[in-house]
Structure formats: structure tokens, C-alpha cells
Amino acid sequence: MPGPRSQRESTRHRQRLCVVMACGDTAEAAQVSEELSQVNTGLLITYRTAQDVLLNAPSGSVALIILASTDDPVVIARILQWMRRRWPHCPVTVIGDVGSGELELAARKGGANFLARPVTREQWHGILSPVLPLPERAAKEERLG
């Protein structure tokens, strides 16, 4: 017999895919949140800086990491090394300003994609869609379980 309803719900929420985003700009977080709400799947966990992810790492299944903070390229390089050990197969995208060559180099050396601001809705969709299940597939999976 399954556990109490609250226990089943909390287990289901822990199994949902997480998108981790470190960003200083709430508008960028809102754009990602809007894209997630379109597919109605996954959770967005936001941090103010990339270093905050180190201090309080999420415990769920991480599907994607977006580093859109204004951290120094040296810090980003160190954090990417840590993330690659913790989540070796998780895609990572670093968002930076146009002309931030050191940040782009740190991102690419760390195995991450790099996008320059401003990020368009189509680019957000392109980052998110490969890692999150399609709504119709997610609905079928929930009925099976």
C-alpha cells in the first residue's frame, strides 16, 4: 500500500527535473520561468550568484544549469570544475555580456555553452527544450506511475 498522500507528493516533487539558475537579473529568471511554465514540467531553482550553488546545492535531479550571474571568469571556471564532478553529464550554459571573451573562454574550457546577452525567447527555448520532457510525454508517464 502506498504511503500517505503527502509522502507520495513529496517523493514525486523530488523526482521532478530541476533547472538550476544562478542569476543577478530577475528578468532573466522570469524568462526561464515563463519557458518552463509553457511545458508545465520541471522546477526552477534560482541562486543570486554561482558561488551560492556551491554552498547550497540542490538535491533533486538536475537537468540543466544556467550561470547568468556576474561572477568573475576565474570563479566561473572553478565552479564549472566542481559542477562537472558533481553532475558530469548535465548540460551547462553560461550567459555573459557581449565582449566578455574571458568568460566565454572559461565557459568553453569548462565544457559549457556560452550565450551573449540579451538572450532571446527562442534561445531560452533552445536551451530548455532538449533537457525537459515534452508535456504530452510527461502526462503519459504520470498516468503509468
- CATH code of residue 110: 3.40.50.2300
Per residue in 66-87, pLDDT (tens digit) is 999 888 999 999 999 999 999 9
Q: What pLDDT digit, counting tens, does each position of 42-57 carry?
A: 789 999 999 999 999 9
Assess if residue 14 is contained within a domain: no
Give how many domains the chain has, as a whole number.
1
Any domain includes 8: no
Q: Which domain, by its residues, includes 30?
A: 19-144
pLDDT beyond 60 at 134: no
Assigned domain for 9 exists? no
3-state SS, one letter per residue, for 35-50: HHHHHCCCEEEEECCH
Of the candidates 18, 17, 101, 27, which has an alpha carbon nearest to the alpha carbon of residue 53? 18
Residue 5 lies in a domain: no
Strands (E), the chain: 17-23, 43-47, 61-68, 92-96, 113-116
Res. 135 pLDDT band, cuts 50 70 90: low
Q: What gap in Å lies between CA 35 and CA 31, rounded to an integer?
A: 6
pTM: 0.80
Contact 22, 49 (CB under 8 A): yes
| 10 assigned to some structural domain | no
Look up cell 498516468; give the residue: 143
Residue 67 lies in a domain: yes
Percent of the chain past pLDDT 70, that is, above it, reads 80
* Peptide linkage before 118 cis (omega within 30 of 0): yes
Predicted local distance difference test score (pLDDT) of residue 143: 42
Does residue 64 sit within a domain?
A: yes
Q: What is the dihedral of CA 107, 108, 111, 114, to 10 degrees?
A: 60
pLDDT at residue 70, as a whole number: 87
In a domain, 85, yes or no: yes
Give the pLDDT score at 15. Answer: 57
